[in-house]
Amino acid sequence: MSMEELVFVPLGGVGEIGMNLAMYGFGPKGNREWIVVDCGVTFPGPNLPGVDLVLPDIRFLESERKNVRAMIITHAHEDHYGAVLTLYPRISPEGTLPVYATAFTAGLLEAKAQSEPGAPKIDVTVFQPGGKFQAGPFEIETVTVTHSIPEPVSLAITTPLGTVLHTGDWKDDDEPAMGPKTDRNAFEKLGDRGVLALICDSTNAMREGVSPSEQDVSDGLRKVIEAAEGRVAVTTFSSNVGRIRSIAEAARDCGREVLLLGRSMKRVVDVARELGYMEGLPPFLSEEDFGYIPRSKVVIILTGSQGESRAALAKLSRDEMRDVALTAGDTVVYSSRMIPGNEKAVIETKNRLIDMGIEVIEDGDALVHVSGHPRRNELREMYKWTRPAIGVPVHGEAAHLAAHAKLMTECGIRDVVPARNGDMVRLAPGDPEIADDVPHGQVFKDGALIGDEEELGIADRRRLSFAGHVAVSIVLNKHHELSADPEIVAIGVPQTDARGEDIEDLMYDAAVEAVESIPRARRRDLDLVERAVHGAVRAAARNAWGKKPLVSVLVSSA
């Protein structure tokens, strides 16, 4: 009989920031029981034209779905819960897999489901931060932490082979804007009981010191609002309820009213209000009333910090909103960090604002944002509290993971495992090691469909964006001669070459020559004609332009 093992398998978030999904397995090889921790997305860059979301490849999880006992969501950031509605039916087609989350996360998931037609019905079991529950052989103890969203938790996952601490996203903040402080006492008690492995956030592992407090950011935002003469618009992540509340409090204290802009912002605030996180704040303005408020008496809190073209800030920068506008002398504050890959879109929005005469204030200009992740001194504290035998850096790109692994080793953690997505890390029994690898990668949500690059035609779309498309129609008569002139439609191809010759005419001539170069008897083979025309048209475009468009050839016989 095979011996029982405790394994950790990340399918996303280890080697990248975003798309977090982890599996923990207990039992003998081939007969393990599993839990899933988080189920997140990341967002497509310009190399994925048309793609809506990037999701973890869960082929391995699907192959084990009969043995999965629970899905647990640590908090409601998109990179940790954004794929739940999309992937849950693949993990649990019967809809019976228990999903555990805090009240705030459950509320946001329900609100998200209401806005997505066809979303699955998921009955979420709500736990209080600090609570415990059982999932198969796993005893789960949730630990209160501080992060840039309400009700984040770390998970202490206990099995007969030991306790694994999955930190999720966290920081150690003595003055959080909302909610309790990170429960150091709970972590110390876990350390006293014995922590086999620490699976820990690496986002800020390259930054020395301690992350500034949310209270410091609140003070910084208040100073900016006090100093502003015109309107103030503050863009931040819609999920950062503590930041939204801090801005609203600063506005109130400065004698200003607050307008919320952006669907996701309003959705999050509605859930936060239901759970009591907005108590004590005056009512928010309606968009219809905005125009009646003096410029010096209003603050706008809005979406669009990442340059999203359809978000509120980008629309304001293009003067596309009916009832709300910004004008010269107003101030826009970016109370957020720029997610890698969004630089171009963010800069374009900022430049439009600056051209309008608007002052743009960023983190480098004033303390208007702080990360929700631990810097190196906070990581050192976590090691002291928990004293793990094994360290596994997660939640980061290669540079973050390497810096975190080095820090763990320097701080005396006995075994540090440099895991990546798809690695099966055996944590116990024996010395930890990467024992296997499982299928992993990315799949894409594209409209109503989910698939890989080939299935969704993304590679062709990418080529189309670089070199356009040419469609050629060839009709042969019963004598295998051209019965009419070939028809060519070119999209995204220059009109003329460097000498001024029409490129479409050059491709037309190439198509005719390709057909006529084939002996008439061999033109019965329509596939041969298609290949010849395809090659000739691509070559003509390359010679004239230096690039080869996608070419589609349709050959028919009368």
Would you say 385 and 187 are in contact if contact means Cβ atoms under 8 Å apart? yes
Tokens encoding 501:
């010759």
| Distance, CA of 421 to CA of 7 (rounded, Å) | 14
Concatenate the DSSP letters of all residues of 268-330 into one string.
Answer: HHHHHHHTTTTTTPPPPBPGGGGGGS-GGGEEEEES-TT--TTSHHHHHHTT--SS----TT-
- CATH classification (class only), 4-209+371-453: alpha beta
pLDDT at residue 136, rounded to an integer: 96
| Distance, CA of 106 to CA of 81 (rounded, Å) | 10
In a 3-state reduction of DSSP, which class is residue 177? coil
Would you say 179 and 374 are in contact if contact means Cβ atoms under 8 Å apart? no
pLDDT at residue 338, rounded to an integer: 86
Task: Note the residue count of the chain.
Answer: 558
Would you say 61 and 24 are in contact if contact means Cβ atoms under 8 Å apart? no
Tokens 């035609």 identify what position? 457
| Distance, CA of 362 to CA of 360 (rounded, Å) | 7
Cβ-proximal residues to 150 (8 Å cutoff; 6+ apart), any chain: 102, 104, 178, 179, 241, 242, 272, 275, 277
In order of 25, 78, 81, 274, the CA distances from 73 in angstroms are 17, 11, 7, 20
What are the extents of the domains in the chain? Answer: 4-209+371-453, 214-361, 468-557
Would you say 470 and 452 are in contact if contact means Cβ atoms under 8 Å apart? no
Omega prior to 429 cis, within 30 of 0: yes
pLDDT at residue 219, rounded to an integer: 93
pLDDT at residue 217, rounded to an integer: 93
Tokens 């409090």 identify what position? 249
| Distance, CA of 311 to CA of 323 (rounded, Å) | 15
Strand-pair partners of 300: 233, 259
What pTM was computed for the model? 0.90
* Fold observed for domain 468-557: Ubiquitin-like (UB roll) (3.10.20)
Q: Would the CATH topology of 4-209+371-453 be identical to that of 214-361?
A: no
φ, ψ for residue 381, nearest 5 deg: -65, -45
pLDDT at residue 364, rounded to an integer: 87
Would you say 284 and 242 are in contact if contact means Cβ atoms under 8 Å apart? no
Domain 214-361: homologous superfamily in CATH: Metallo-hydrolase/oxidoreductase (3.40.50.10710)
pLDDT at residue 70, rounded to an integer: 98
Helix (H) or strand (E) holding 527: helix 526-545
In a 3-state reduction of DSSP, which class is residue 205? coil
In order of 117, 124, 253, 450, the CA distances from 87 in angstroms are 15, 15, 44, 10
pLDDT tens digits in sequence order for the chain, 558 residues long: 569 999 999 999 999 989 999 999 999 998 999 999 999 999 888 889 989 999 999 999 999 999 999 999 999 999 999 999 999 999 999 999 999 999 999 999 999 999 888 899 999 999 999 999 999 999 999 999 999 999 999 999 999 999 999 999 999 999 998 889 999 999 999 999 999 999 999 999 999 999 999 999 999 999 999 999 999 999 999 999 999 999 999 999 999 999 999 999 999 999 999 999 999 999 999 999 999 999 999 999 999 999 999 999 999 999 999 999 999 999 999 999 888 778 899 999 999 999 999 999 998 899 999 999 999 999 999 999 999 999 999 999 999 999 999 999 999 999 999 999 999 999 999 999 999 999 999 999 998 899 999 999 999 999 999 999 999 999 999 999 999 999 999 999 999 999 999 999 999 999 999 999 999 999 999 999 999 999 999 999 999 999 999 999 999 997
Tokens encoding 391:
């360290």
pLDDT at residue 286, rounded to an integer: 94
